[in-house]
């Protein structure tokens, strides 16, 4: 790496850590931890699940982030463990993964193990989850192709890989999913597609918004959710990673 890139990386990391010191966000993270636990009490048992998910997927994640997706783009193992735990707790039938990559692999591998009722991820997540369908979507067809190649290499399903706005029409899919991950495209794309992403969830569905460590996206998401009167809780206690990234969960209308 040349010295200019090194300096830029240091600057970006320093800025992230400064933003991470926001007392409001820290306080919100603590308060919302309690609220999220009262909504989903099973999250109290997250630590052993996270450890087990890291044990099972850690080597794949290290390989993925060294060969395929940069660690800044790929979902953290903390986010992946949280998503898989939500699946254990919510038993979704249909999951949509907006922003393809490592999440597509983790979700599809868990879905395959859940469908056959056996496997290390299935065991890591309590051993009771039944099969569920995963759709992975990207706004970048080339990136989706790269994801397809990775999924083939890993021997998991490559069904239902779709391009946002082409094969995947968000209006036609509104209300179709029990769990939505919104982690797609640039932060501008994230904002532009937020309302459609939220609308993909059905009445009992949750929407996980990654990368709310970014103040501009966080403020935009807060305003958007407030205008929809949709409750949202910070999952910072479960998802904060070493790059200071974390997620929020937009909650369903029904418990
Ligand atoms: C935060 S990434 C999505 C990450 C994905 N959920 C994962 O776990 O790998 C957001 C977008 O960046 C693009 N992308 C993903 N990895 C990338 C990379 N290594 N380089 C460039 N673009 C990437 C994709 O189009 C994706 O929609």
CB 99 within 8 A of CB 181: yes
CB 214 within 8 A of CB 191: no
Ligand 1 center–CA 184 separation, angstroms: 7
- With a 6 Å cutoff on the Cβ, whether 78 touches ligand 1 is no
Q: Give kind and range of the element (H or E) at residue 179.
A: strand 177-182
Q: Which atom of ligand 1 is nearest to the CA of 72?
A: 1
Ligand 1 center–CA 39 separation, angstroms: 30
pLDDT, tens digit, 9 for 90 and up, residues 188-213:
999 999 999 999 999 999 999 999 99
Tell me the C-alpha distance between 196 and 83, whole Å.
20
Give the residue, by CA position, lying nearest to ligand 1 atom 3. Answer: 99
Q: Map residue 248 onto helix, strand or coil.
A: strand
The residue to which tokens 């904002």 are assigned: 191
Tell me the C-alpha distance between 239 and 208, whole Å.
11
Structure token pair of residue 68: 């395929």
| pLDDT value for 216 | 96
Structure token pair of residue 85: 């735990």
Provide the Cα torsion 213, 224, 169, 206; round to 10°. Answer: 70
Q: Which of 237, 203, 194 is nearest to 81 (CA)?
A: 237
pTM of the model: 0.93
Tell me the C-alpha distance between 231 and 36, whole Å.
11
| Beta bridge partners of residue 98, listed in sequence order | 137, 182
The residue to which tokens 């036609």 are assigned: 172
Ligand 1 center–CA 234 separation, angstroms: 22
CB 134 within 8 A of CB 176: no
Q: Which domains does the chain have, with CATH numbers?
A: 3-250 (3.40.50.150)
| pLDDT value for 1 | 59
Tell me the C-alpha distance between 25 and 30, whole Å.
9
- With a 6 Å cutoff on the Cβ, whether 138 touches ligand 1 is yes
pLDDT, tens digit, 9 for 90 and up, residues 114-152:
999 999 999 999 999 999 999 999 999 999 999 999 999
Ligand 1 center–CA 139 separation, angstroms: 10
List of the chain residues with pLDDT < 70: 1, 253-255
Q: Which of 156, 110, 104 is nearest to 135 (CA)?
A: 104
Candidate of 84, 143, 186 to mutate for ligand 1, largest count of ligand atoms within 8 Å of Cβ: 143
Tell me the C-alpha distance between 68 and 61, whole Å.
10
- With a 6 Å cutoff on the Cβ, whether 183 touches ligand 1 is yes
- With a 6 Å cutoff on the Cβ, whether 116 touches ligand 1 is no
| pLDDT value for 78 | 98
- With a 6 Å cutoff on the Cβ, whether 144 touches ligand 1 is no
């Amino acid at each position: 790496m040349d010295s200019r890139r090194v300096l830029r990386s240091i600057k970006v990391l320093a800025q992230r850590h400064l933003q991470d010191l926001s007392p409001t966000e820290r306080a919100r993270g603590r308060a919302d931890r309690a609220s999220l636990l009262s909504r989903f009490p099973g999250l109290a048992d997250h630590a052993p699940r996270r450890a087990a998910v890291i044990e099972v997927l850690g080597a794949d994640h290290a390989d993925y982030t060294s060969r395929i997706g940069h660690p800044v783009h790929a979902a953290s193992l903390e986010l992946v463990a949280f998503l898989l735990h939500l699946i254990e707790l919510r038993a979704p039938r249909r999951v949509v993964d907006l922003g393809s990559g490592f999440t597509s692999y983790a979700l599809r591998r868990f879905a395959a193990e859940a469908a056959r009722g056996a496997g290390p991820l299935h065991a890591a997540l309590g051993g009771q989850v039944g099969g569920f369908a995963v759709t992975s979507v990207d706004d970048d067809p080339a990136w989706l192709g790269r994801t397809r190649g990775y999924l083939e290499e890993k021997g998991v399903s490559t069904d239902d890989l779709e391009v946002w706005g082409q094969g995947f029409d968000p209006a036609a899919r509104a209300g179709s999913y029990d769990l939505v991950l919104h982690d797609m495209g640039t932060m501008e794309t994230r904002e532009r597609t937020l309302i459609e992403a939220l609308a993909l969830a059905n009445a009992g569905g949750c929407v996980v918004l990654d990368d709310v460590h970014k103040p501009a996206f966080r403020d935009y998401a807060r305003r958007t959710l407030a205008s929809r009167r949709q409750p949202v809780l910070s999952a910072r206690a479960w998802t904060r990673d070493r790059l200071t990234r974390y997620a929020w969960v937009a909650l369903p209308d029904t418990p």
